[in-house]
Amino acid sequence: MSTDLLIDGLPPTDDDLRYMALVNYGAYTSFRIEDGRVRGLDLHLARLEASAVELFGEPLSGDRLRDLIRTAVADRRNAWIRVSLFAPDIVPRSPSAEVRPKVMTSVSPAPSPLATSVRAQVRTYVRTEAHIKHTAIFPLIRARRLARQAGFDDALFADAGGLISEGTTWNIGFLAGDAVTWPEAPMLHGVAKALISSRLAEVGMTQRTAPVHVSDLAAFDGAFLCNSATPACPITAIGDHAFGASPDRIERLARAWASNPVQAI
């Protein structure tokens, strides 16, 4: 898979690449470009703008981000782009600088969905600064790796008390008939989740947000995961608790996601 990499719209320097290889401090978002447009682009940009202020102490405008995305995408009509923020002035021994972050864009062919169904292993973990889509993804890769070694497809996180939050790179929703329950816990609230949530009523489904513990799984007759690459995928088991695949409801969830308009970059 080829990837085109730019930093602030220009080819990367050795110094920038060296910093990114050695210092894991930053934030990012990633999304699909569909016929030159993006579903939920405003939400992705808002995520980056908030991360710029919280992690680097300086704002980064949505107009600047749009310009850099347009430069990176060039004449491609369909692709996948990751937009990352980093600042070489922030180093482990002296992390106090407040600077406008640099913007790295990487463009590649769009990936396939994560899966057509998933069996998830519960792992005890809560992401650090869970509300930020940050670049510290070692624990996520490690959890997915260990889950697969144990015979599962992926990992679902819960705290020491069994409170469920999110998956490695996805949000989870639970189903009871036509009602969706989103877990209430520290987590990254993904753009796909927001897009589905905004249109559930249009596909005849209701929703609520409430704490969900591993001990509560019997209260639901289905579960699904969602992220920007995978609008809706059935979770057929969490640990030894099995769910039905719910194809009709999964199709309605995917339709809720797809009914959001694509936005010009």
Tokens describing residue 110: 């769009």
Tokens describing residue 138: 């070692």
User: Count of H helices and E strands in the chain?
Assistant: 6, 15
Distance CA 43, CA 194 (A): 9
Distance CA 51, CA 27 (A): 7
DSSP secondary structure string for all residues of 136-160:
--HHHHHHHHHHHHTT-SEEEEE-T
Distance CA 133, CA 136 (A): 9
DSSP secondary structure string for all residues of 58-108:
S---HHHHHHHHHHHHTT-SSEEEEEEEE-TT-BTTB-----PPEEEEEEE
Q: Tens of pLDDT along the chain (265 residues)?
A: 456 999 999 999 999 999 999 999 999 999 999 999 999 999 999 999 999 999 999 999 999 999 999 999 999 999 999 999 999 999 999 999 999 999 999 999 999 999 999 999 999 999 999 999 999 999 999 999 999 999 999 999 999 999 999 999 999 999 999 999 999 999 999 999 999 999 999 999 999 999 999 999 999 999 999 999 999 999 999 999 999 999 999 999 999 999 999 999 9
Question: What is the value of pTM for the model shown?
Answer: 0.95
146-185 burial, b at 16+ Cβ within 10 Å, e below that, comes to ebeeeebbbbbbbeeeebbbbbbbbbbbbbeeeebbbbeb
Distance CA 118, CA 155 (A): 10
Beta bridge partners of 207: 180
Which domains are assigned to the chain? 4-108 (3.30.470.10), 118-260 (3.20.10.10)
Distance CA 240, CA 19 (A): 43
**Local structure of residue 41 (DSSP, 8 states):** H
